[in-house]
Structure 1
Amino acid sequence: MAKFRLAYFGFVPHPMFLETCAKDPDLEVIHIPLEASTAEAIQTLSSCHGYYVMAARDELPKPLHVTDELLAKLPNLLIAASYGAGYDPIDPIACTNAGVAAVNQAGGNAEGVAEHAVGMMLACLKRMPESHAAMIAGRAQDRATMMGRELRNRTVGLVGCGNVGTRVAEICRLAFGCKVIAVDPYLDADEMKARGVTKVDMDTLLAQADVVSLHCPLTPQTRGTIDAAAFAKMKKGVIFVTTARGSIHNEDDLLAALNSGQVATAGLDVWELEPPPVDHPLLHHKAVIASQHTAGVTQESRANITRIAALAFSDLAAGRMPPRIVNPEVKPRFAERYAAAFGLSLQEG
Structure 2
Amino acid sequence: MAINRKRLAFFERWFDPVAEQILGAQDDIELVRLSYDAAAADNWAELATSCGYQIGARTELREPWFGDAALLARCPTLLAISSTGAGYDVIDVDACNAAGVIVVNQSGTNSEPVAEHAIALMLGLTKRVGFSHRAMLKGTAHDRLQLSGNNIRGKTVGIVGIGQIGRLTARYCAAFDMTVLACDPYLTAAQVAERGARKVDFPTLLRESDFITVHCPRNAETLGMFDAAAFARMKPNAYFINTARGKIHDEGALIEALTAGRIAGAGIDVFDVEPPPPDHPLLHMDTVMATPHIAGGTVETHYDMAKATAEQWIALLRGRVPPRLVNPEIWPAYADRFERIIGFRPDPLPGA
TM-score, normalization: structure 1?
A: 0.96
Provide structure 2 residue ranges, at least 5 long, that are not aligned to the other structure: none
- Structure 2 letter corresponding to 1:297: G
Secondary structure in structure 1 of the residue aligned to 2:319: coil
Partner of 2:329: 329
Cα displacement string for residues 173-194 of structure 1 (whole angstroms, at most 9, x for unaligned residues): 1x21111111112222221111
2:15 paired with 1:9: no
Cα displacement string for residues 217-261 of structure 1 (whole angstroms, at most 9, x for unaligned residues): 111211111010000111111011110011110111111111122
Partner of 2:41: 39
Equivalent residues of 1:82, 1:105 under 8 A apart: yes
Equivalent residues of 1:26, 1:314 under 8 A apart: no
- The runs of 4+ residues in structure 1 deviating greater than 3 Å are none
The 5 Å alignment of 1:1-349 reads 2-56=4-58, 58-173=59-174, 175-347=175-347, 348=349
Secondary structure in structure 2 of the residue aligned to 1:169: helix
Secondary structure in structure 2 of the residue aligned to 1:283: helix
Equivalent residues of 2:266, 2:288 under 8 A apart: yes
Deviation at 1:28, TM superposition (A): 1.3
Identity of aligned residues (%): 43
Equivalent residues of 1:101, 1:327 under 8 A apart: yes
RMSD, matched Cα? 1.3
Aligned residues: 347
Provide structure 1 residue ranges, at least 5 long, that are not aligned to the other structure: none
Question: Which stretch has the larger CA shift, 254-263 or 72-81?
Answer: 254-263
Equivalent residues of 1:38, 1:64 under 8 A apart: no
- Give, in whole Å, the separation in 2 of the partners of 1:346 and 1:156: 45
Equivalent residues of 2:36, 2:62 under 8 A apart: no
Cα displacement string for residues 287-342 of structure 1 (whole angstroms, at most 9, x for unaligned residues): 11111001111111111111111111111122101121222222121111111112
- Give, in whole Å, the separation in 1 of the partners of 2:33 and 2:90: 19
Deviation at 1:31, TM superposition (A): 0.5
Deviation at 1:130, TM superposition (A): 1.5
